[in-house]
Structure 1
Amino acid sequence: MTRNGASQEKRRVLVVGGGGVGTMACVALEKSNMASVTVVLRSNFNKVVQDGFEIESVDHGKLTAWRPSAVVNTVPQSDPTKPFDYVLVTMKNIPELTDIPKIIAPAITPGHTTIVLLQNGLYIEPPIVKAFPQNILLSGASYIGAHERNAQVVHDDHDHFHLGAFHNPTFDRSAERVKLDDFASVYNGSKVVEAEIVDDIVLYRWRKVLWNGIFNPMCAITQLDSAMVRRAGGEYSVIRPGMAEMAAIAKADGYDLGENIVDVMIDSTPIELAFRPSMLVDVDKGNPMEAEVILGNALRVARKRGVQTPILDNTYRFLKLVQARLLIARGSIAQPTGLPTKDFI
Structure 2
Amino acid sequence: MKLKSRVLVVGGGAIGGLFAWRLSLSPAVTVSLVCRSNYQKVKTSGYLINSAQFGKAVYRPSAVFRTVEEAAAADGPFDYVIVALKALPNIYDSSESIQQAVGPNTMIVLFQNGIGIEEPFVKRFPFNSLVSSVSFVSVKQEEDGVLKHGGFSMIAAGIHNFKRSLGEDTEKLEHLFRAFESQGVSCTIESDIQPYRWQKHILNGSTNPVSVICGGSSCQEMVKNDYCRRLLEETMEEIFVLGKRVTGKAFPGVDGIVDPQSATEYISSIPVPVYTSMLVDSQCKRPMERDVILKNPIDLAEKLGVSVPHMKALYALVTMVEESYSK
Normalising by structure 2, we get a TM-score of: 0.90
Q: 1:266 & 1:34 partners in 2: Cα distance?
A: 40
| Selected match of 2:204 from 209, 212, 222 | 212
SS at match of 1:38: strand
1:263–1:10 distance in 2 versus 1, CA, 3 Å: same
Deviation sequence 1:272-291 (CA, Å, 0-9, x none): 64421111122222222111
Asked if the contact 1:90–1:118 (Cα under 8 Å) also holds between the matched residues in 2, the reply is yes
CA distance in 2, matches of 1:28, 1:234: 41
Code of the residue aligned with 2:186 in structure 1: it is: E
Q: Is the 8 A contact 2:26 2:182 kept in 1?
A: yes
What is the DSSP-based 3-state SS (H/G/I as helix, E as strand, rest coil) of the residue aligned with 1:264?
Answer: helix
Give runs of aligned pairs for residues 1-345 of structure 1, distance below 5 A. 7=2, 9-64=3-58, 66-76=59-69, 78=72, 83-110=77-104, 112-148=105-141, 149-168=143-162, 171-190=164-183, 192-223=184-215, 224-235=217-228, 237-253=230-246, 254-257=248-251, 261-270=259-268, 273=271, 274-326=273-325, 328=326, 335=327
Distance 1:45 1:205 in 2: 29
Q: Is the 2:42–2:60 Cα contact (8 Å) retained in structure 1? A: yes
CA contact (8 A) 2:128 2:161 kept: no
| Higher alpha-carbon Rg | 1
Query: In structure 1, what is the Cα distance between the partners aligned to 2:32 and 2:229?
Result: 46
Matched residues in 1 for 2:303 and 2:210: separation? 24
What displacement does 1:120 show?
0.6
Tell me, which stretches of 5 or more residues in structure 2 are unaligned? Answer: none
Separation (CA, whole Å) in 1 of partners of 2:118 and 2:78:
20
SS at match of 1:15: strand
Please give the secondary structure, in 1, of the residue aligned with 2:278. helix
Q: Provide the alpha-carbon RMSD of the alignment.
A: 2.2
* CA positional deviation for 1:245: 1.1
Q: Give SS of 1:143's match.
A: strand
Distance in 1 of aligned mates of 2:263 and 2:279: 19
Preserved contact between residue 229 and residue 264 of structure 2 (Cα < 8 Å): no
Report runs of 4+ in structure 1 exceeding 4 Å deviation. 77-82
Aligned residues: 318
Return closer, same or farther for 1:81/1:23 CA change in 2, 3 Å cut-off.
closer
Deviations 1:216-275 (A, max 9, x none): 110111122212222233345411111111111112212333895223322322266442
Please state how far the C-alpha of 1:73 moved relative to its aligned partner: 0.3
| C-alpha separation in 2, matches of 1:244 and 1:42 | 37
Partner AA of 2:307 in structure 1: Q
Unaligned runs of 5+ in 1: 2-6, 329-334, 336-345
TM-score, normalised relative to structure 1: 0.86
Give the aligned residue type for 2:261: D
Between 1:174-183 and 1:38-47, the stretch displaced more is 174-183
For 2:243, the aligned partner's letter is A
Counterpart Cα distance in 1 of 2:194 and 2:320: 28
Aligned-residue offset at 1:171: 4.2
The share of aligned pairs that are identical, in percent, is: 32
